[in-house]
């Protein structure tokens, strides 16, 4: 009995970690966290390089959750603009789903220093939910 209990204890953390990995956990390890404007979705993202440099291509990893669970359906579009300048990015970013609720984004380029708005459009069941974040690159 005692011996079995010990074994159980030893395995518990490992089981917890694998469970967390399988279910996608309720929180993200990515640097930035925000909510969609209607508060229905949580978006987490990080960039490489970080922080985002001026006029250098960067990639992003993005996770989207609803009620703490990674999205099993739906699409994501990532875009950005400089509202004060009246222009967006010069490229359409390349977005690839890498797993449940996870995406990898390539060809992001903030070609000018200044204030950018980063947009995450989550499309589920025909409805688009937007999350957005202001980023200053300098």
Partner 1 sequence: MLALCCMSAVLGFADEPAVVFTPRQQRRILQHSPVPAVPDDPTNDWDRDPAAAHLGQALFFDAGFSRNGQVSCATCHGPMIAWTDAQPLATGLETGTRHSPSLLNVAHQRWFFWDGRADTLWSQAMHPIEHPGEFDASRIEYVRRIHSDAAYREAYESLFGPLPPMDDEQRFPRDARSDSPAWAAMAETDRDQVNRAFANCSKSVAAYESRLRSVESPFDVFVEGLRQDDETKLAALTASEQRGLQLFVDEAGCRQCHSGPLFSDFEFHNIGIPTGHGGAPRDPGRFDGLAHVQRSPFSAHGPYSDDPDGARARRTASIVQGQEHWGSFKTPTLRNIERTAPYMHQGQFDRLEDVLAFYNTLEDMQLQDHHQEMVLKPLELTDAQLADLAAFLRSLTSPLPPKSLMGPVDPRTGKPPSEPIEGP
Instruction: Indicate whether 35 belongs to the interface with partner 1 (CB under 8 A).
Output: no
CA-to-CA dists, residue 94 to 6, 56, 125, angstroms = 49, 15, 22
Of 35, 62, 37, 66, the residue nearest 48 (C-alpha): 62
Binding test (CB under 8 A) with partner 1, winner from 92, 98, 99, 128:
92
Binding test (CB under 8 A) with partner 1, winner from 8, 15, 23, 94:
94
Tokens found for residue 34: 């925000």
8 Å CB contact between 28 and 80 = no
In the window 37-66, what residues touch partner 1 (CB under 8 A)?
54-55, 57
User: CA-based angle 63:46:21, to the nearest 5?
Assistant: 45
Instruction: Candidates 22-30, 33-41, 70-78, 84-92: pick the segment binding partner 1 (CB under 8 A).
Output: 84-92
8 Å CB contact between 45 and 32 = yes
Instruction: Indicate whether 86 belongs to the interface with partner 1 (CB under 8 A).
Output: yes
Q: How far is the CB of 137 from partner 1 (least distance, A)?
A: 10
In the complex, the residues that contact partner 1 under the rule CB under 8 A are 54-55, 57, 84-94, 106-107, 111-114, 138
């Amino acid at each position: 009995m005692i011996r079995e209990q010990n074994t159980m204890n030893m395995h518990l953390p490992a089981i917890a970690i694998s469970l967390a990995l399988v279910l996608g956990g309720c929180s993200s390890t990515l640097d930035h966290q925000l909510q969609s404007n209607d508060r229905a979705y949580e978006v987490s993202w990080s960039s490489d390089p970080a922080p985002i440099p001026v006029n250098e291509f960067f990639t992003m990893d993005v996770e989207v959750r609803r009620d703490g669970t990674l999205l099993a359906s739906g699409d994501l579009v990532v875009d950005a603009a400089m509202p004060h300048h009246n222009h967006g990015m010069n490229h359409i970013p390349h977005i690839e789903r890498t797993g449940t609720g996870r995406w990898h984004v390539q060809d992001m380029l903030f070609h000018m220093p200044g204030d950018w708005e980063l947009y995450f459009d989550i499309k589920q069941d025909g409805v688009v939910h937007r999350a957005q974040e202001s980023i200053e690159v300098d």
